[in-house]
Structure 1
């Protein structure tokens, strides 16, 4: 279980890092209508069995590790398991649900070639990317903490 949590957090950190490091910058360089259309397409295609299994499955494993670690908090690795699980659940899953998804839903309602679309796009790029940085850092730190749990 711990290994799957480490791998899941690491995979998600990589996905979010890629978006923060170059995908969002590439979309920002496009004309707003093209950037909006591309991000709308990404937001549709990301909802697929492979991605969702890793994203939500890692969350499920973290919930299991969190509960089992709280029940056995006296173990030497419990603090790493609790920390890593909370980082993923709060910093990755919750940030996605409460910040990135609502931004994606607002973008989905916009016609790429509308004036409202162009105005929303600038705000969207800044806000979505900020929250994505948080997700990337949380998933990477979660992976590191869970790796320390395996080592101890």
Structure 2
């Protein structure tokens, strides 16, 4: 069971790291070059769409599965996977905290602005969203989630070579 949970933790963490990376190198730069109305409307639509069972099960599942995996390694970690899994858990926990403390409030604020066709000051909504700050913190999430994924891959290799 330890190997299956560790594999699932690595898979979900890798998928989420991929989502954050895609936002960093494609979605946000693409939206950045649009007018205010397009930016606000498209970002609202993207944010509503990403809150779905597929993404949420990976986003939250990565943390839960990594924690369970670390706990399963505790009794007899003769292969050295525990330190890598524990570090991955801490790194990904920071990703979750950043997401909830920085990105989600900005996402919620831009959605709360309402229908872009009814907004008088689209430039103000976009400015208040803090696009540069959102992107900077997303880049931190990219780095941390990729590092957590890498740690889980090392743990998998160590687990697979245990005997």
Unmatched tracts of structure 2, length 5 or more: 159-163
SS of 2:130's equivalent in the other structure is helix
TM-score (norm 1): 0.89
Q: 1:151 aligned to 2:147? A: no
Residue 123 of structure 2 is aligned with which of 104, 114, 118?
Answer: 118
CA distance in 2, matches of 1:120, 1:73: 54
Deviation at 1:68, TM superposition (A): 4.0
Supply the distance in 1 between the matched residues of 2:47 and 2:105 (Cα, whole angstroms).
11
Gapped regions of structure 1 (runs ≥ 5): none
Cα 1:58/1:96, change in 2 over 3 Å: same
Write out aligned runs for 1:75-94 (5 A): 75=78, 76-90=80-94, 92-94=95-97
Aligned pair count?
Answer: 149
Q: What is the aligned-residue RMSD (CA, Å)?
A: 1.8
Contact kept? 2:92, 2:144, Cα under 8 Å: yes
Secondary structure at the counterpart of residue 51 of structure 2: coil
Q: Tell me how far apart the structure 2 counterparts of residues 77 and 99 of structure 1 sit (CA, whole Å).
A: 31
